Amino acid sequence: MKNKLRVGVVGAGAVVREIYQYLYFQSEYSPLLEICAVADPNKENLQWFGNLAKLPDDRCFADYQKMLAEVELDAVQINTPDHLHCRPALDALAAGLDVVLPKPTAATVKDAHAMIQAAKEAGRYLGVDFHKREDPRIKEAEARFKGGRYGTFQTGVFYMIDKLLVADPNHSPRFFASPDFAERNTPVSFLTVHMADALMKITGLVPAQVRATGYSHKLPSLKPRAVNGYDLVDTEIVFTTGALAHVITGWALPNTAWAIAVQSGRMICSDGLLDLGLDTPGLREIHASGLSEANPLFRNFEKNGIVGGYGISSPGRLYQQILAHRNGAARDYETVAPDFYTTVILEAAEKSLAEGKKNEAGATRGEAIELGRFVRDQIGDAAARSYEL
């Protein structure tokens, strides 16, 4: 029986520095993983991770395809930007490898469907790290909701607003490596997918229509480098039941905010109301450096050096499932539908904004996108029906 996975890492940028380095080397899941190689076209990232993982030079690659060809692996973790998830995933699955990647599955419906189909055809595992699914508050809400405690979900509001420094290319040090991060990643792709997925996880609902409204005020005013992007996006989601939700996301909070992300949610149902209180994770301090909040639920540094929390357990459990799959456990491919829906909401919201009209005050009211028709146009009727769309 296999008790360790040989893993190749594709992409060693910000998400690895912030989260995955702890998963690989300082978590309860680390004994399951043998980090065998890394691929990244960025020399600085490649050298940093190679040194951290104590990899020889011949296990550090500028080209992931060369890594796949030369190193014997069981799985790869793809940590590239969203729009670059698909090709490495398809190549890894075709090579007989399992794949783990951060949310969302992909930036487009076509890519997400291609990846899911490739995993089915190869008989391999495709795991997407939607780490809010492992937040104990989300899990408790799901158990209570699906147990019938609140009745029928009617409407709700979820929000996730980041400090400006996340999107500001002028901030030093830069929060993310790319100076054009906020132009290439809208609040929808970076944040809305989290909260929309959390809502669907709790309720089990299928989205039917999306309409987005975007606001461009703060980012275009930044100096010396302005950003052509949205400060805030309100994504309105109508579900097949008629339920309605607003997912409000952005990155224009003052940098003095007590946390990188201020977030929460409220669900109103036929038999009750649920407040999630996600912006009070547990530890707030007043210090000479300012007012700040630590979230030990997400990432918890213990005295012995082990790092825990749902930000680590979420991808860690994906690797546990890969190991179980490699040891003969069946893979339930029906569970991939929620992974797909978040990409549908993402691409539809961005299409809504692209087709909308911007007024003189800097607000863009998007067009309503019917998701069934939208998905059928992308992948055909039969494939759309397989996702109940």
Question: Which CATH number is associated with domain 136-297?
Answer: 3.30.360.10
The Cα 176–Cα 181 span in angstroms is: 7
The DSSP 8-state label assigned to residue 260 in this structure reads S
Q: What angle do CA 44, 16, 235 make, to 5 degrees?
A: 120
Q: Which residue intervals of the chain are DSSP H helices? A: 14-15, 21-25, 43-53, 64-70, 86-94, 109-122, 136-146, 181-184, 187, 193-203, 310-326, 337-354, 371-379, 381-386
Specify the pLDDT at position 156.
98
Specify the pLDDT at position 332.
64
9: β partners: 38, 77
Backbone phi, then psi, for 223, in 5-degree steps?
-140, 150
As given in the structure block, the two tokens for residue 233 are: 């996006």
**Residue 71 near residue 59, CB atoms below 8 Å:** yes
**Residue 246 near residue 349, CB atoms below 8 Å:** no
CA dihedral sign, ordered 330, 333, 334, 338: positive
* pLDDT tens profile 274-328: 999 888 877 889 999 888 888 899 999 999 999 999 999 999 999 999 999 999 8
Q: Counting Cβ atoms within 10 Å, is residue 233 exposed (0-12), middle (13-18) or buried (19+)?
A: buried
Q: Is the peptide bond before 173 cis (omega within 30 degrees of 0)?
A: yes
As given in the structure block, the two tokens for residue 277 are: 């209180």
SS3 (DSSP) at 198: helix
Residues 6+ apart with CB under 8 A from 138: 132, 198, 201, 202, 276
The Cα 80–Cα 245 span in angstroms is: 30
Specify the pLDDT at position 335.
63
Specify the pLDDT at position 185.
85
Q: Within the chain, which residue ranges are assigned CATH 3.30.360.10?
A: 136-297
Report residues of the chain scoring pLDDT below 50.
Answer: none
Distances (CA, A) of 106 to 118, 312, 342: 14, 21, 9
Pick the CATH number of 5-132+305-333 from 3.40.50.10860, 3.40.190.10, 3.40.50.720, 3.40.50.11540: 3.40.50.720
Q: Within the chain, which residue ranges are assigned CATH 3.40.50.720?
A: 5-132+305-333
Place of tokens 């508050």: 137
State the pTM of this model: 0.95
